[in-house]
Amino acid sequence: MKKISIWEDSIKLDSYNKLNHNIKTDILIIGGGITGISTMYYLEETKYKVTLVEQNKIGMATTSKSTGKLTYMQNDLLYKIKKIHGDKVLLDYINSQKDAIKMTKEIVKKLDIDCNLEKVSSEIFTNKDNEIPKLKEIEEFLINNNIKVSSSKNNIVNSKYIIKANDTYIYNPLKFINGLTKNIKNNIYENTSIIKITKEHDYYKCITNDNKEIKTKYIVLASHYPYFNIPYMFPIKGYIEKSYLSASPYKSKNNISLISYSNPFISIRTYENYLIYLSNSHSTNKSINDNKNYQELIKKINNLKLNPEYLWSNSDIITNDYLPYIGVLKDNIIIGTGYNTWGLTNGFLAGSIIKDIILKKDNKYINLFNPNRININTITKSITNGYKNIDSFIKSYKEKPKIKCPHMGCNLIYNDIENTWDCPCHGSRFNEHGKSISSPANKDIDI
């Protein structure tokens, strides 16, 4: 069994040099996943000089660990947005996802990217009686807003009610990323972390892990989780959710895209002759026993008479009000993060929004995803997240050996399934040799 995602085994990505000299640029993008690469692609034809730095390898963090779905049928997220923000905001959010899918399709066609993009019906299911009215409420909302959905049946999962939409897609996210980078002429640097940012007059000075200096007017924070906490207090604006995934040989006449309505989430899709199965989603501060979670995942897929060939995990930021953070933080610092497990649509959408912000153009989603928004309905969640951060910090100290995360000092937990050191507080990860492989940590550790 391979301890990597199926996407990592599907393509040999292009490589880029490490930054080894001081540079000046107009726009510095920090992070080479779907958000960073999309932003860079959209800025390619502008007057600006754009530079992107990635602490590891392009596309190999969260993007390479996803399920590869492009859909607005997003489990109970739709219901939660409706209850917190109301019908108008939910419709705006759904339209943003539909626009992201449309733009992705157009780019794939324009650039002739071979990324296994295929149209598929997306289904949300539940096997709990108390969730059926909520799912029916979302079904009614979609129908009333001229979005075609219908009830459905499926023999892969146990369910009591299923709704289905047809205008959604699946693809290979790494092949898509690679296709975009082949059409970018600006500078990309791998194995380059930003460890310090200071404001100097009308520009920012960014220092890399090798003490190289980048001077820039704009900064785009496109990493999974920003490495800083103050003054924007990201630890209380959301939490990290971890999920476990497998890919098993599977033959099907039709493509499949399923997700359960609520946690514990089950997400299923097909890819070529494989079935990708996601399960055991949880807040990182609730469970640090990766071995147990993997064994539970394997048990579930064995019940489906599947034999996994790939096994991996992924982490996502769940925001307090269930909307992403995309936009200006302050003084030409722009962010794209907090996608609530739906990073492939929101990350690509973020690229177009960030481009319009820099070019000072109107974009109908700027206000919707404003990262400085305040919602009084989420104050309790902010307090809860603060408590959970403290609790996970304390729990981490019960584990041995004690190796501290350079982000906030939580003790790292060794994941003996993937051979990584994982932080239970904010999701930083390091390989078995101590190299940082996932933010917010931007420095390696000594093993």
pLDDT in the model for residue 108? 98
pLDDT confidence bin for 257, thresholds 50/70/90: very high
The model's confidence at residue 397, banded by pLDDT at 50, 70 and 90, is: low
For 211, residues 6+ apart whose C-beta sits below 8 A from its C-beta are none
State the pLDDT at residue 29: 98
Q: How far apart are CA 391 and CA 266, in angstroms?
A: 27
**Using one digit for the tens of pLDDT, what is the confidence trace for 28-38?**
999 999 999 99
Q: Distance (Å, rounded) from C-alpha 50 to C-alpha 66? A: 27
CB atoms within 10 A of CB 69: 25
Q: What string of H, E and C letters represents the secondary structure of 305-363?
A: CCCCCEEEEEEEEEECCCCCEEEEEECCEEEEECCCCCHHHHHHHHHHHHHHHHCCCCC
- pLDDT tens profile 301-343: 888 889 999 999 998 999 999 999 999 999 999 999 999 999 9
Q: For residue 225, give both structure tokens.
A: 């989780």
CA contacts within 13 A on the Cβ side of 54: 23
Confidence class for position 233, pLDDT limits 50, 70, 90: low
Contact 408, 395 (CB under 8 A): no
Per-residue pLDDT, averaged over 281-288, amounts to 70
How far lies 78's CA from each of 85, 322, 333, 394, 401, in Å?
Answer: 10, 9, 29, 34, 41
C-alpha span between 58 and 157 (Å, rounded): 35
Is residue 199 within 8 A of residue 331, CB to CB? The reply is yes
Q: Which CATH superfamily is domain 378-438 in?
A: Rieske [2Fe-2S] iron-sulphur domain (2.102.10.10)
As a whole number of angstroms, the distance between CA 55 and CA 206 comes to 14
**Residue-level pLDDT at 375:** 75
What is the model's pLDDT at position 382?
65
Q: Where are the alpha helices (DSSP H) in 112-194?
A: 132-144, 173-181
Cα 444–chain centre separation: 22
Contacts of 139 (CB under 8 A, 6+ apart): 149, 151, 163
Query: pLDDT by residue (tens digit) across 112-151?
Result: 999 999 999 999 999 999 999 999 999 999 999 999 999 8
**Distance separating alpha carbons of residues 92 and 104, to the nearest angstrom:** 18
429's enclosing H/E stretch is strand 429-431
Comparing CA positions, the residue from 194, 186, 183, 182 lying closest to residue 48 is: 186
The mean per-residue pLDDT over the stretch 261-274 comes to: 93
pTM: 0.92
* Residue 127 structure tokens: 């096997």
Q: Kindly list the domain boundaries of the chain, sorted by start residue.
A: 378-438
Identify which has the larger pLDDT, 173 or 233: 173
The predicted pLDDT at position 21 comes to 97
pLDDT score for 385: 63
Place of tokens 């959604």: 168
User: What are the backbone dihedrals phi and psi of residue 328, each rounded to the nearest 5 degrees, phi first?
Assistant: -80, 125
